[in-house]
Amino acid sequence: MTVKKNKSRGREVNRTELAEINGVSLPTIESWVRRDCPVVQRGGRGRAWTFNTADVRNWREDDIRAESSHTAHATKDELLLRKLAAETEQAELDLAKSKDEVVPVEQLERAMVKAFGEVRAGLRNVVPSRAASRLLGETDETTLKAVLLEEIDHALEALADSDLINESDLDLEDNEESEGAESA
C-alpha cells in the first residue's frame, strides 16, 4: 500500500485503498466520483486514480448531510412538488385524526406500558409457581429447558387470549384526570 503525504491534510491513496479505508466497494467509489467526489488525479492509460483522504472525508460528510436533507440536487419544481406532497400528507393526517383513525402517541404509549406490564406480571407470577412444582428434583438440562419453554408458552397463550388493553386505557383525558386526582 503506497501512501504519499499531501502538503495539506490527509493522505493520497488510490481507488482500492480509498475503498478499503471507507469500508466500501470499488463501484461505490465510482459512484462517488460521478457525484463529484474530489479527485487529485483522474486515472486512465496507465495512470492510477489518486484521492486525498481528508478531502474525500469532508466531501462525504457534506454529501451525507445533503442526502439526509433530500434537497441536495433538487430543482425549484422538485421542491415545490415536495412541498405540495407534504401539505397533502398533513391534510390526510388531519382528516384521519378527525375520523378518529389515529391516536396520539401518548395514548399508545400508555396502552403499551399497561400491556407490557401485564405480560411481565403474567410471566413472573405464573411461570415460576407452575414450573417450580414440575421441576422439583429435576437435573436434566434438556428437561429443564423444555418445561420452562412450555410454561412460558402457556403463560403467553393465556395473555394473548386476554384483553391487555381496555378502551378506557386509550382515553387520554380520563387517564390525565385520574392521575391528577391521585397526585393531589
pLDDT for residue 171: 62
52: part of which helix (H) or strand (E)?
strand 51-52
Q: Are residues 81 and 114 in the same domain?
A: no
Q: What is the pLDDT along the chain (184 residues), one digit of tens a residue?
A: 444 444 458 899 999 999 999 999 999 999 999 989 999 999 888 889 999 999 999 999 988 887 776 665 678 888 888 889 989 999 998 898 888 888 777 888 888 888 888 888 878 877 787 888 888 888 899 998 998 888 888 888 877 777 766 666 656 555 455 545 555 4
pTM above 0.85, yes or no: no
Closest by CA to 78, choosing from 93, 34, 86, is 86
Total number of domains in the chain: 3
The residue type of 132 is A
My answer on whether 64 and 81 are in the same domain is no
Residues 6+ apart with CB under 8 A from 77: none
Q: Are residues 93 and 148 in the same domain?
A: no
Angle (CA) 36-38-39 rounded to 5° is 115
Q: Cα(177)–Cα(80) distance, rounded to whole angstroms?
A: 44
Q: CA-CA distances (angstroms) from residue 120 to 29, 114, 116, 156, 162?
A: 49, 10, 6, 10, 14
DSSP-derived 3-state class of residue 41: strand
- C-alpha distances (whole Å) from 77 to each of 12, 40, 68, 81, 88 are 40, 35, 19, 6, 16
Residue environment code for 110-140, b if the CB has 16+ CB neighbours within 10 A, otherwise e: bbeebeeeeeeebeeebbeeebeeebeeeee
Backbone angles phi, psi at 75, to 5 degrees: -85, 170
Task: Please tell me the predicted confidence (pLDDT) of residue 180.
Answer: 54
Residue-range definition of the domain harbouring residue 52: 4-69
Q: Do 131 and 167 fall within a single domain?
A: yes
The reported pLDDT for the residue numbered 6 is 42
Q: What does the radius of gyration of the chain's CA atoms come to, in whole angstroms?
A: 30
- Same domain as 62, residue 84: no
Q: In this predicted structure, what is the pLDDT of residue 3?
A: 47
Q: What is the CATH number of the domain that holds 50?
A: 1.10.10.10
